[in-house]
Amino acid sequence: MANLNEIDPNGHAERIGRMERDGLLTASQAAQLRESVQPRGAEDITTSLRARWPARWIGVFLVAIAVVALGAALTGSGGGPTTVQDVSSALNQPGGVGEMNATVSKLIAVAILLIVPLLLWAVLHNSLVAKEENVFEAWAQTESNFQRRADLVPALVESVTRFIQHESETLTDIAQERSQATGRLAQAVDELINTQKQAAEVLRANPELLIENQEKLAQLFAGQTSVGRSVGNLFAVVEAYPDLRSADQFLELQAQLEGTENRINVARQRFNDAVGDFNGTMRKLPWSLVASAGRFQRKAYFQSEEDARRAPDINFN
Amino acid sequence: MRQISTSTKRLTIALVAAIIVVGGLSVVRELNAPPELVEDDAALMSPEERAFLAEFHRFLTKDHDIDYRVITVKDSGDIDQFAVKRFEKLFAKSSRSATGRGLLLVVDPVQDRVRLEVSQTLEGAFPDAFIAYVEQRQMVPFFRTGRIADGVLASTELIAMRAQNATRNAGFEDEPWATTSAGGGAVAAARIGEGPEQIPVPPSPATAPPTNTPQQALQAYFDAMGARNASPDLAFYTPATRQMLSGWTITRAQMDSVVKTYRRCNAEPVKSDPTSSLAVIRYPIAERSCAPFFFQNIDGAWALDLTIMQQAIRFGRTNAWRFDQSVDHPYRFAFADWRFDPSGFPSRAR
**B 179-218 residues with CB < 8 A to A:** 181-189
Give which of B78, B82, B84 to mutate to test A binding, by max A Cβ within 10 Å. Answer: B84
Kindly state whether residue A45 falls inside one of the protein's structural domains.
no
Residues B147 and B272 in one domain: no
* 3-state SS record for B2-38: HHHHHHHHHHHHHHHHHHHHHHHHHHHHHHHCCCCCE
Q: Name which of A141, A255, A264 is nearest B129 (Cβ-Cβ).
A: A255
Q: Identify whether residues B58 and B184 lie together within a single domain.
A: yes
pLDDT of residue A31: 79
Q: Does A308 touch chain B (CB under 8 A)?
A: no
Q: What is the CATH number of the domain that holds B177?
A: 3.10.310.50
Q: Per the domain annotation, does A274 fall within a domain?
A: yes
DSSP structure class, residue A62 = H
pLDDT surpasses 80 at A131: yes
pLDDT of A175 reads 58
Q: Is residue A208 part of a domain?
A: yes
Tell me whether residue A42 is in a domain.
no
Tell me the nearest-neighbour CA distance from A152 into chain B, angstroms. Answer: 13
Last residue of a domain, one of B174, B189, B204: B189
Q: Across the interface, do A262 and B185 touch by the CB < 8 Å criterion? A: yes
Element (H, E) at B322: strand B321-323
Task: Lowest mean pLDDT of A73-82, A171-180, A215-224, name the range.
Answer: A73-82
B113 contact residues in A (CB cutoff 8 A): 317
For residue B52, the enclosing domain spans: 38-189
Question: What pLDDT is stored for residue A308 in this prediction?
Answer: 44
Per-residue pLDDT reduced to its tens digit, A259-284: 898 999 899 889 999 999 999 998 88
Cis geometry, peptide bond prior to residue B232 (ω within 30 degrees of 0): no
Number of domains in chain A: 1
Instruction: Tell me, yes or no, whether B66 and B141 share the same domain.
Output: yes
Is the pTM here over 0.90, yes or no?
Answer: no
| pLDDT lower than 70: segments of chain B | 1-4, 21-35, 169-179, 206, 349-350
- Helix, coil or strand: residue B316: coil
B103 touching chain A per CB within 8 A: no
Q: Which region among A64-73, A162-171, B2-11, B130-139 has the lowest average model confidence (pLDDT)?
A: A64-73
Residue B33 lies in a domain: no
Q: Which residues of chain B are within 8 Å of residue A263 when distances are taken between CB atoms? A: 182-184
Per-residue pLDDT, A1: 43
A100 has pLDDT over 70:
no
Which residues does chain A have within 8 Å of residue B189's beta carbon, measured at their own beta carbons? 317
Whether residue B133 and residue A255 make contact (CB cut-off 8 A), yes or no, is yes
**Average of pLDDT values for A166-190?**
70
What is the bridge-based pairing of β-strands B278-281 and B293-298?
A: antiparallel
Domain that holds residue A224: 130-310
Q: Is the dihedral of CA A306, A308, A313, A314 positive or negative?
A: positive
CB atoms A255 and B182 under 8 Å: no
**Beta strand pairing call for B346-349 and B338-340:** antiparallel
A272 contacts in chain B (CB < 8 Å): none
Q: Taking residues A115-132, what's their average pLDDT?
A: 88
Q: Do A258 and B127 touch (CB under 8 A)?
A: no
Q: Per the CB < 8 Å rule, is A262 touching B80?
A: yes
**Are B229 and B314 in a shared domain?**
yes
Residue A134 lies in a domain: yes
B68 and B170 in one domain? Answer: yes
CA A317 – CA B113 distance, rounded (Å): 10
> What sign for the dihedral angle of Cα A187, A189, A194, A199?
positive
CA distance B85 to chain A (A): 10
Query: Please, are residues B175 and B263 in contact by the beta-carbon 8 Å criterion?
Result: no
Between A228 and B176, where is the model more confident? A228
Interface subset of B 61-80, CB within 8 angstroms of A:
80
ipTM entry: 0.70
Do B173 and B237 fall into the same domain? no
Q: Which residue has the higher pLDDT, B219 or A294?
A: B219
Q: Are residues B258 and B159 in the same domain?
A: no
- Regarding whether B124 and B180 lie in a shared domain, the answer is yes
Distance in angstroms (rounded) separating the CA atoms of residues A268 and A249:
29
Report the half-sphere exposure of B57 (CA within 13 A, side-chain side): 25
pLDDT in tens, B38-93: 999 999 999 999 999 999 899 999 989 999 999 999 988 899 999 999 998 888 77
Q: Are residues B153 and B255 in the same domain?
A: no
In a domain, A117, yes or no: no
Per-residue confidence (pLDDT) for residue A277, from 0 to 100: 93
A36 falls within a domain? no
Average pLDDT, chain A: 75
Least confident span in A103-112, A229-238, B146-155: A103-112
The count of domains in chain B is: 2
Number of A to B CB contacts under 8 A, please give it: 53
Provide the CATH number for the domain around residue A176.
1.20.1440.20
Residue A29 domain flag: no
- Is 90 exceeded by the pLDDT of residue A67? no
Same domain for B152 and B49: yes
